[in-house]
């Protein structure tokens, strides 16, 4: 069955790559679909890099419909100016459709896929569908965009973790410390998720609302430290600025978030039935005298769901120091924090960005000075993009992004868990429903992406190479023995095509994944194929 599906997907991939035979029609919607990490949000970021979109902080996403008014591209002069609806609608109320999208993924050998929101792509075929609508009445806006998916979840070899029962499917290295299943049971895995749904009010410079949409904190494209779209968005309430507040020489933009995190059926945690409370803060500052520069901080705190619900103290936790509680050894939570920057040079078509993140607390200030790696893992990420404008119009974007999140033994010999794992309560790690909230490479790994994107009136071509260290079992400092299978390392090459065909957007992707020492054993090869169709109802 899977081989027949693979042949069908490959045929559609070749079909989509064929030259378009008809002129692309004007406007197939799109303004209601600029979700965090989405195709259109990525395109607007490319336009901002060349100055076709006004400068605006990109480190707190998703964007509201009001913010998208400020990010509307200048008229004409860019490849997709005639394809999507970029015009700002000043009417009192508006209604738009989140166009239906169907995406099928195929993995030949083992699960593979990341930064795809709620979807978990197991071995075999995984199919997802999304649709919805967006309504806006003056400062009040509502987007409803649920997503449903089903994964065949075919059998493959697991890394034995020494656990029994349901936990045999848990993480192969840290089954008791993180909710990160290797496989979601032995049956097809399916779920209906509320997806990119948000109700918010933007008034008097402030924003308040509730949402299940994905959030991107920081400037990363592929490897965000705190939050991105590698997992599902979670139910949360938020309060913050509706847009950057101008304090003359300084503009500030921020958001407080409170939410509920769930675990998968393969987690060892039993406290509060596996529910966690999260409280977080993200803020960005821009300077009048340094256009294009963003500087930001974020903080994210996990704790077991409080009996009776969160208190005021729980809500204010991101604004308070936990140093004293840590000294008394009563800090029953898990904290992550990061500092980041992004700098755009529109006249040169260049952007550079980076992020440094840490997890947990040091024992005291002296311990911080002596061993900044003690207890808390760390991660750093850097990225760079250069965009060239060509007649046609055509945009060529070359980007590179790398992350390093090592797991190591600190000088005094005290081992520390990798990033996203907390020694103690809660025990699910930085996850929701069995997927990492932040970077897919953050669990003691490392990754590099190099990609070439070509945008033109008929769509987009992308060639992407990825090197990802999934796990590292080396213990040479202890044993003095070299383990030739200690590094589980993936090398991939992907070719992706977005083709505009009348009122349809057809996405196809073929990716070869060669994994060295999979699960610290033998090498493995996986073919990942994707076909997606977005149909405009206009």
C-alpha span between 127 and 104 (Å, rounded): 4
pLDDT digits 0-9 by tens, 303-353: 999 999 999 988 998 888 765 555 545 567 888 999 999 999 999 999 999
Burial of residue 311 (CB within 10 Å: 0-12, 13-18, 19+) is exposed
C-alpha span between 102 and 504 (Å, rounded): 11
Query: CA 98: distance to chain centroid?
Result: 20
**Low-confidence residues of the chain, pLDDT below 50?**
1, 20-25, 328, 409-414
C-alpha span between 21 and 23 (Å, rounded): 7
* pLDDT for 413: 47
Fold of the domain built from segment(s) 2-535: Porin (2.40.160)
- DSSP-assigned beta bridge partners for residue 193: 147
Residue that the structure tokens 């480190």 belong to: 59
**Domain residue ranges of the chain, discontinuous segments joined by +:** 2-535
Residue that the structure tokens 């965090």 belong to: 36
C-alpha span between 40 and 61 (Å, rounded): 13
pLDDT digits 0-9 by tens, 341-363: 999 999 999 999 999 998 866 66
Helix (H, G, I), strand (E, B) or coil at 463: strand
* pLDDT for 18: 53
CA distances from 48 to 74, 290, 357 (A): 10, 16, 26
Q: Are 78 and 86 in contact (CB under 8 A)?
A: no
| pTM given for the model | 0.92
DSSP H stretches of helix in 18-167: 39-49, 65-70
Q: Are 224 and 217 in contact (CB under 8 A)?
A: yes
Six token digits for residue 379: 């991660």
* pLDDT for 477: 55
C-alpha span between 457 and 402 (Å, rounded): 30
* pLDDT for 328: 46
pLDDT digits 0-9 by tens, 104-151: 999 999 999 999 999 999 999 999 999 999 999 999 999 999 999 999
Name the nearest CA neighbour of 298 among 345, 240, 350.
Answer: 240
C-alpha span between 62 and 46 (Å, rounded): 16
């Amino acid at each position: 069955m899977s081989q027949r599906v693979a042949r069908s997907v490959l045929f559609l991939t070749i079909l989509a790559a064929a030259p378009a035979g008809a002129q692309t029609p004007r406007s197939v919607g799109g303004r209601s679909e600029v979700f965090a990490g989405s195709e259109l949000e990525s395109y607007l970021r490319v336009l901002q890099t060349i100055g076709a979109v006004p400068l605006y902080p990109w480190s707190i996403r998703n964007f509201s419909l009001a913010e998208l008014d400020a990010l509307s591209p200048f008229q004409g002069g860019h490849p997709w100016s005639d394809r999507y609806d970029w015009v700002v609608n000043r009417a009192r109320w508006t209604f738009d459709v989140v166009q239906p999208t169907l995406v099928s993924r195929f993995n030949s050998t083992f699960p593979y896929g990341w930064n795809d929101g709620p979807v978990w792509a197991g071995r075999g075929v995984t199919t997802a569908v999304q649709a919805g609508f967006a309504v806006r009445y003056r400062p009040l806006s509502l987007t409803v965009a649920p997503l449903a998916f089903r994964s065949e979840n075919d059998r493959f070899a697991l890394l034995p973790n020494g656990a029994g029962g349901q936990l045999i499917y848990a993480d192969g290295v840290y089954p008791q410390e993180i909710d990160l299943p290797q496989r979601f049971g032995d049956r097809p895995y399916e779920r209906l998720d509320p997806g990119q749904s948000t109700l918010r009010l933007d008034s008097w410079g402030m924003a308040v609302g509730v949402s299940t949409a994905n959030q991107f904190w920081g400037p990363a494209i592929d490897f965000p430290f705190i939050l991105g779209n590698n997992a599902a968005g979670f139910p949360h309430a938020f309060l913050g600025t509706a847009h950057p507040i101008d304090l003359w020489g300084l503009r500030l933009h921020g958001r407080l978030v409170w939410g509920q995190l769930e675990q998968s059926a393969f987690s060892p945690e039993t406290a509060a039935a596996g529910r966690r409370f999260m409280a977080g803060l993200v803020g960005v500052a821009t300077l009048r005298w340094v256009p294009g520069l963003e500087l930001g901080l974020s903080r994210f705190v996990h704790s077991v769901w409080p009996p009776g619900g969160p208190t005021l103290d729980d809500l204010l936790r991101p604004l308070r120091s936990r140093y004293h509680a840590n000294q008394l050894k009563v800090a029953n939570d898990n904290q992550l924090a990061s500092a980041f920057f992004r700098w755009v040079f529109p006249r040169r078509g260049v952007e550079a960005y980076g992020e440094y993140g840490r997890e947990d607390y040091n024992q005291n200030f002296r311990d911080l000075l002596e061993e900044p790696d003690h207890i808390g893992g760390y991660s750093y990420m850097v990225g760079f993009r250069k965009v060239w404008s060509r007649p046609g119009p055509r945009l060529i974007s070359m980007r590179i992004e790398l992350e390093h999140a090592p797991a190591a033994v600190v000088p005094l010999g005290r081992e520390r868990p990798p990033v996203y794992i907390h020694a103690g309560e809660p025990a699910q790690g930085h996850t929701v429903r069995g997927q990492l909230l932040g970077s897919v490479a953050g669990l003691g790994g490392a990754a590099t992406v190099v990609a070439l994107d070509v945008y033109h009136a008929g769509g987009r071509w992308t060639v992407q190479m990825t090197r990802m260290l999934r796990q590292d079992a080396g213990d040479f400092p202890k044993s003095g023995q070299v383990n030739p299978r200690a590094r589980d390392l993936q090398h991939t090459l992907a070719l992706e095509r977005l083709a505009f065909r009348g009122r349809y957007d057809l996405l196809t992707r073929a990716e070869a994944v060669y994994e060295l020492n999979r699960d610290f054993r033998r090498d493995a090869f996986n073919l990942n194929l994707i076909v997606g169709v977005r149909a405009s109802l206009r």
